[in-house]
């Protein structure tokens, strides 16, 4: 056994003094050999990081987590969220009572699945088991079959609960529970993922408006926009419909759906559309119709009373119809949807009223087994001029 050098002897004495101070402050006795051995084993596992960094990370993630049963945490979460379902005076509630009630039922089932289990003891296997057990749940004697949409609702509720548990220190910030197979990354919702959890990138293919926009298709759109900088958004949507053979049941191109899809991709940052040529369309206010002399009496005495069909959306009769409805109907004029019949009521002294009817048209893309009822609707808009207040109906 070789003797220690003076520097080594000083270091050994200083280390023994530190161990003695540690024993006096904590009551735990550690030998010099045990302390050096533990440090060397820890340093080998840290891959170049210092012991101080490891300790600080441990204190931030694990040491500060409080032990809380899932059922108790769910009850506390629902109690904390209850004020959001009540509307203050003159304001609107942040959550509907129906949604709050359904969320409480789903979280209750989640807590019942893992009795006597702490939130910090949850693993990814627990979440996978919960999603798999949804089809085995029963309501009385009836078995509940959870659809894909119902599973997504359960996932969203569990994400909200886990994010709240992180804020309450019931879960570490670095937990990886949402990486479970039953919680795919593509279904993450805004506000349901802890801030420290990185959001997974979108898949290569994005389903937008019923069409799959693959990466080759997106690259083709980018190249087209780059090569033709003067190409308008309307022309680009028309070209997209031709590439995908995107048509309606009547054979026309679904240009409006294509524009919506391109705008959504532009807002998500997957595509950069050219600048719009013009802003949103604004409607001009309708001018009031010219005043007519006041009429009094019954309908029977009106000479030449007749209904005139309004033809064409931009004809003179259509303009007069819109002016009458805008001026004398309490709801004003709004474009009606679907097939409609519009009439002007006139007599020898001029136009005295306006009527419109709507009719339900069968959709061409409805399956043959679906029954579509065709029947006329009541009058959508009817207006009579103020200079005819005392006419009695026939």
- How far apart (Å, rounded) are the C-alpha atoms in residues 162 and 22? 39
Q: Are 22 and 16 in contact (CB under 8 A)?
A: no
Residue 84 shares a structural domain with residue 55 = no
Q: Is residue 340 part of a domain?
A: yes
Residue 117 shares a structural domain with residue 179 = yes
Residue of 356, 351, 335 whose CA lies nearest to 386:
351
pLDDT by residue (tens digit) across 145-200? 567 788 888 888 999 999 899 888 888 888 888 888 888 754 444 334 444 444 44
More confident residue, 141 or 317: 317
More confident residue, 205 or 254: 254
For residue 315, with 0-12 CB atoms within 10 Å meaning exposed, 13-18 middle and 19 or more buried, which class applies? Answer: exposed
Q: Is residue 199 part of a domain?
A: no
Residue 115 shares a structural domain with residue 163 = yes
* ∠ Cα 26 32 33 (to 5°): 125
- How far apart (Å, rounded) are the C-alpha atoms in residues 48 and 64? 25
- How far apart (Å, rounded) are the C-alpha atoms in residues 120 and 66? 8
- How far apart (Å, rounded) are the C-alpha atoms in residues 384 and 89? 41
The domain boundary residue, chosen from 187, 217, 249: 187
pLDDT at residue 367 is higher than 60: no
Residue 219 shares a structural domain with residue 174 = no
Residue 252 shares a structural domain with residue 347 = no
Residue 183 shares a structural domain with residue 108 = yes
What is the count of structural domains for the chain?
4
Q: Is residue 291 part of a domain?
A: no
pLDDT by residue (tens digit) across 60-89? 655 567 889 999 999 999 999 988 888 777
Spell out the long-range contacts of 255-262 with Cβ–Cβ below 8 A and sequence spacing 24 or more: 257/209, 257/210, 258/209, 259/233, 259/234, 260/209, 261/208, 261/209, 261/211, 261/213, 262/221, 262/233, 262/236, 262/237
Average pLDDT over every residue of 140-149: 65
Q: Which pair of structure tokens corresponds to residue 287?
A: 């001018």
Residue 182 shares a structural domain with residue 216 = no
Residue 46 shares a structural domain with residue 79 = no
Q: Is residue 320 part of a domain?
A: yes
More confident residue, 33 or 89: 33
Q: Is residue 192 part of a domain?
A: no
Q: Give me the phi and psi of 374, to 5 degrees please.
A: -105, 120
pTM above 0.75, yes or no: no
> What's residue 72's pLDDT?
93
- Count Cβ neighbours within 10 Å for each residue of 30-41 and write b for 16 or more, e otherwise: eeeeeeeeeeee
Residue 86 shares a structural domain with residue 183 = yes
DSSP assignment string, 4-55: PPHHHHHHHHHHHHHHHHHHHHH-----HHHHHHHHHHHHHHTTT--HHHHH
For residue 142, what are the domain limits? 70-187
Q: Is residue 281 part of a domain?
A: no
Q: Are 307 and 343 in contact (CB under 8 A)?
A: yes
Q: Which pair of structure tokens corresponds to residue 380?
A: 């959508």
Computed from CA positions of residues 275, 276, 277, 279, in that sequence, does the dihedral angle turn out positive or negative? negative
pLDDT at residue 7 is higher than 70: yes
pLDDT by residue (tens digit) across 81-116? 988 888 777 677 888 888 899 999 999 989 998 998
Q: Is residue 272 part of a domain?
A: no
Residue 91 shares a structural domain with residue 33 = no
pLDDT at residue 383 is higher than 60: no
The domain boundary residue, chosen from 153, 187, 221: 187
Chain-wide mean pLDDT for the chain? Answer: 77
Residue 103 shares a structural domain with residue 180 = yes
Q: How confident is the model at residue 302 (pLDDT cuts 50, 70, 90)?
A: confident
DSSP assignment string, 182-232: TS-GGG--TTSS-TTSPPPPPPS-EEETTEEE-HHHHHHHHHHHHH-TT--
> What's residue 350's pLDDT?
78
Q: Is residue 15 part of a domain?
A: yes
Residue 332 shares a structural domain with residue 253 = no
């Amino acid at each position: 056994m070789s003797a220690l050098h003076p520097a080594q002897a000083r270091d050994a004495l200083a280390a023994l003094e530190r161990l003695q101070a540690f024993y006096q402050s904590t009551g735990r006795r550690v030998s010099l050999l045990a302390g050096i051995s533990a440090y060397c084993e820890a340093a080998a596992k840290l891959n170049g990081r210092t012991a101080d960094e490891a300790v600080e990370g441990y204190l931030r993630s694990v040491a500060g987590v409080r032990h809380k049963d899932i059922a108790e945490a769910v009850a506390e979460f629902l109690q904390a969220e209850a004020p959001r379902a009540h509307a203050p005076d003159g304001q609107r509630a942040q959550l509907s009572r129906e949604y709050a009630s359904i969320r409480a039922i789903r979280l209750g089932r989640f807590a019942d699945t893992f009795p006597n289990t702490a939130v910090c003891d949850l693993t990814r296997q627990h979440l996978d088991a919960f999603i798999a057990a949804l089809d085995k749940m029963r309501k009385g004697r009836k078995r509940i079959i959870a659809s894909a949409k119902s599973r997504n609702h359960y996932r969203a509720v569990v994400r909200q609960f886990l994010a709240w548990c992180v804020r309450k220190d019931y879960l570490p910030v670095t937990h990886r529970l949402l990486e479970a197979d039953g919680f795919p990354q593509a279904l993450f919702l805004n506000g349901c993922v802890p801030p420290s959890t990185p959001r997974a990138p979108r898949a290569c293919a994005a389903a937008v408006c019923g069409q799959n926009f693959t990466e080759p298709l997106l690259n083709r759109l980018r190249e087209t926009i780059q090569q033709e900088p003067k190409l308008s958004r309307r022309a680009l949507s028309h070209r997209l419909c031709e590439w995908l053979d995107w048509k309606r049941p009547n054979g026309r191109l679904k240009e409006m759906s294509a524009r919506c899809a391109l705008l959504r991709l532009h807002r998500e940052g997957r595509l950069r559309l050219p600048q719009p040529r013009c802003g949103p369309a604004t409607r001009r206010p309708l001018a009031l119709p010219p005043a007519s002399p006041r009429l009094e009496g019954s309908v029977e005495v009106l000479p030449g009373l007749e209904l005139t069909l309004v033809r064409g959306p931009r004809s003179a009769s259509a303009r007069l119809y819109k002016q009458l409805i805008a001026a004398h109907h309490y709801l004003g004029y709004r474009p009606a949807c679907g097939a409609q019949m519009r009439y002007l009521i006139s007599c020898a002294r001029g136009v005295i009223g306006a009527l419109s009817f709507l009719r339900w048209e069968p959709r061409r893309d409805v399956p043959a087994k679906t029954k579509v009822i065709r029947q006329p609707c009541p009058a959508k808009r009817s207006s009579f001029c103020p200079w005819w207040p005392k006419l009695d109906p026939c």
